[in-house]
Amino acid sequence: MSPAIDAKPTHARAWSQAGLELHHMRYRGFAAATHAHGVAQAVIPLAGRMHVVVAGRSHMLAPDAAVWIPAGLDHAFVHVDGQLEFLVVEGGADVPTLAVARSANLRLLAQAIANELDAPGPDTDAMIAACVQPLLAYLARPAADAAPAASPEVAIAIEAVLALYAGPLRVPDLAARAGLSPRQLERRFHAELGRTPKRFLMEVRVGAAEALLTTTDRPIAQIALEVGFQTPSHFTETFKALRGHPPNVLRGG
């Protein structure tokens, strides 16, 4: 099993009132293994992209697509690319099933709340309270044009990457777990996620490395091996290809 990515956020602000909690978070590298919450949780991306894997299905979340997860439902997250920024809403009314919401107004309201959390003033509580109810209303409105969920086979492969990315994982291994040939899995991934399984694996490994680079003082060569790269040079080459700069930039190098 791959080590959990226990990334610390580069930014975190919170607000609570009447059983409702809001959290504005930013991460460079982020993933959360399968878990559940005692209350319903909505995740509204403001920047970057991530997958949420729920009940064997994977949904891509981006600034135009949010998700509302029922209390007690197992789910996992993985950051795909870019600095990840999102608003989390916890509490309020529960939802019976996973709901994907899409609305420009939803994002505007979430961004307005995030701005208030970042720069609080004497009327911040009133401003946030005024935004919360319409925000919840938009979350409760299922998106007619929501991005389709990934197929069960692709979701199986995604979950395998999340669990095993630090080991010697190969595309044929993922395909076997999903009950597909490597070529079939390549086609499914490209059609549903716009990337190859190998690129997705590299993205997860680089995201895990970013978390360790920014939250620990471990040597870069050690981190490279811990997240599944066979050599530090391959890690540096892949990191630069995906992020546009070498990993030592995160250490001030």
Per residue in 2-34, pLDDT (tens digit) is 444 445 566 678 888 878 899 998 877 666 667
pTM summary value:
0.62
Report yes or no on 3 lying in a domain. no
Residue 175 and residue 101 in one domain: no
Report yes or no on 144 lying in a domain. no
Residue 162 and residue 240 in one domain: yes
Residue 15 and residue 131 in one domain: yes
- Greatest CA separation for the chain: 60
Nearest to 234 by CA among 248, 223, 247, 224: 224
Q: Would you give the distance in Å from CA 69 to the centre of its chain?
A: 14
Mean pLDDT of the chain: 81
CATH number, domain at 92?
Answer: 2.60.120.10
CATH number, domain at 237?
Answer: 1.10.10.60
**pLDDT (tens digit, 9 = 90+) per residue, 96-112?**
677 777 777 788 889 99
CB 182 within 8 A of CB 171: yes
Residue 15 and residue 79 in one domain: yes
* Domain extent for 43: 11-139
Residue 135 and residue 156 in one domain: no
List the end-to-end C-alpha distance of the chain, in Å, as a whole number.
31
Number of domains in the chain: 2
Residue 114 and residue 234 in one domain: no
Residue carrying structure tokens 């777990």: 177
